[in-house]
Chains A and B, each alone.
Chain A
Amino acid sequence: MAIYSAGRRRTMIILLLSSILLITLDLRGNAVFDAARTGFNYALRPFEIAGEVVTRPVERAWNGITQVDNLERENTVLQQQLDRLRSDQIAAQAALQENRELKALLDIDSLFASQRRTCSIIGSSPSNFDQRVEIDCGSVNGLRPGMPVLNDAGLIGKITTVSFDTSVVMLVTDTLYTVPVKVMAKVDPSPAPTTPSTVPSGLEVGDVTTTTTSAPPEETDTGTDTDTGTDTDTGTDTDTGTDTDTGTDTDTDIDTETDTGTDTDTGGSSASPDSVVPGGTTTTTTEVLVTRETGKLDGYGGALLPRVSLIDDSQAFGRISIGDAVLTAGGSLSLAPPGIPIGRVVNIITRAGVSGLELEVELNADLDRLNFLTVILYTAPREAAGLG
């Protein structure tokens, strides 16, 4: 029997063309295919349930053999982390409550304003090239493609396919995943220049959401000295002041402030420790001022960390350093509301030319151990406007 024959070649060509036709139709969006997917998943569900029941003992035995060492090690580390985080949690809850109240007062959209739906994972992707999981919520629960999915640790991904009672979630690490993000960065302890009228993209500052914001007022002054310094308002909504204390103590505060239009001096946080110099003079230097930078987070597959690109390495928007927090940026085009924690910067890659920085982000959520997920029933503002 010959490897190549006319009949065989014809069969292969027919199959190949059929595949290409299917891909083309599916990528363009086809209601028939969507219905076929839903129907097929219905038909497959009993098989999956049976498969789960039959294979659970094998699965548990496998996990017992392969994961017990990792679990013990992880348990020790987690216990240490738990002890450390308990104290932080109390402070964080108070700040969170305050944040909610302030947002409600100012009528700002909040992450907590959206409805949520808790779902459990019923399957994961059988492919080595997809980072997706299946959950037990669907259109009947109000889910729609694009809705963000998170757990207690942070962002997990987004809904990509919705059937009647199940949905597919594309994880943050999937190569097709992308979301606008902001990086909470620190500013160098040098006087910041006045706010530029444009951001590097050329847009007016007022048109984008990357303007400099200040940290909550939290000025702690040591001793009983009297602050007689003067604040200089540059008139461009940025206050760069140098406060100097008279007397035996010298305070050097470098504040970058945003004038909210109500002449409220929000100040900077003075969280740095005091240093005692010979002669009894104490110097306090304010270093921690939080600003933000926006970019685009892309998944790079299961083994690689997601990366944030389109970051400008500009002093004006704050130097980004390892450990900075990455959160969703929101915006009219984003499918995720602002403020969902994603992870922390673990590596900063400087690229040549005007490409800017690229940041590797370690996710808060452990995507290998997902059980319950929360879907935020959030519709992007632009999409919501279209629906209305």
Chain B
Amino acid sequence: MLGALLTSSLTRIIPIGMMLLALQTTLFSEMQPFGVIIQLVLTFAACAGAVGGPERGAIAGFVLGIMFDLSIGTPLGGTSIAMGLGGYVAGWCDVIRVETTWWFAAAFVALGAAVGETMVPVVRRFIGEEDAFVPEMLTIIPVVTVTAAILSIPLVPVARWALKLGTPEWKLPADG
């Protein structure tokens, strides 16, 4: 399955990830509602999970996390765990419901983003950072969650395209 992904969706996820990362380091680093940086890349990882399921979400999150770490100089793999878990949690959306509505996806993307953002200081604490848990967490998590839900509306179709997924089609079973 990993091999299949390498030859398929990653070719789209990586360039999209770079564009989102560029937006993250420019526009979204400046626009800080309530002093919180909106997590665009994490939201995209969660969107990938919401439309592609837990595995695809986790793999997309892993790849996007590595790109994030390469970009900002944090220990490689640290953000991958957080974003991978965010994508995985959001992927439950695809498991629980057969046909995902926009609001249902938004709710799970928000949940995935919240889990992913919470995991960032957890992972950092594990790798030895003493003051990883900052008091602003109480503001950061709600703001990231709400903005992720809003951003999921445009990002879910992009994630669906990136993962090369079509809109699910369902046919009623024929009688007899």
Q: Count A interface residues, CB 8 Å.
A: 58
Main secondary structure of the interface of A (DSSP, over half): helix
Tell me the total A-B contact number using a CB cutoff of 8 A: 170
- Do A124 and B27 touch across chains, with their CB atoms under 8 A apart? no
Q: Count B interface residues, CB 8 Å.
A: 61
- Do B84 and A3 touch across chains, with their CB atoms under 8 A apart? no
- Do A128 and B117 touch across chains, with their CB atoms under 8 A apart? yes
| Residues in A neighbouring B160, C-beta threshold 8 A | none
- Do B26 and A52 touch across chains, with their CB atoms under 8 A apart? yes
Which residue, of A20, A160, A161, has the highest number of chain B Cβ atoms within 10 A? A20
CB distance from A120 to the nearest CB of B (A): 14
CB distance from A168 to the nearest CB of B (A): 5
| Residues in A neighbouring B144, C-beta threshold 8 A | 128
- Do B136 and A36 touch across chains, with their CB atoms under 8 A apart? no
| Residues in B neighbouring A15, C-beta threshold 8 A | 58-59, 62, 80, 84
Which residue of chain B has its CB nearest to the CB of A170? Answer: B73
**A22 an interface residue at 8 Å Cβ cutoff?**
yes
Known A3-B54, A168-B73, A304-B134; contact A55-B26, beta-carbon cutoff 8 A: yes
Which of B28-36, B100-108, B162-170 lies at the binding interface?
B28-36
CB distance from B141 to the nearest CB of A (A): 9
CB distance from B114 to the nearest CB of A (A): 13
Q: How far is the CA of A130 from the CA of B28 in the complex (A)?
A: 14
Q: How far is the CA of A117 from the CA of B135 in the complex (A)?
A: 35
CB distance from B157 to the nearest CB of A (A): 20
**B131 an interface residue at 8 Å Cβ cutoff?**
yes
Which residue of chain B has its CB nearest to the CB of A26? Answer: B76
**B39 an interface residue at 8 Å Cβ cutoff?**
yes
**B142 an interface residue at 8 Å Cβ cutoff?**
no
CB distance from A371 to the nearest CB of B (A): 13
Q: How far is the CA of A168 from the CA of B77 in the complex (A)?
A: 18
CB neighbors of B among A27-41 (8 A): 27, 33, 36-37, 40-41
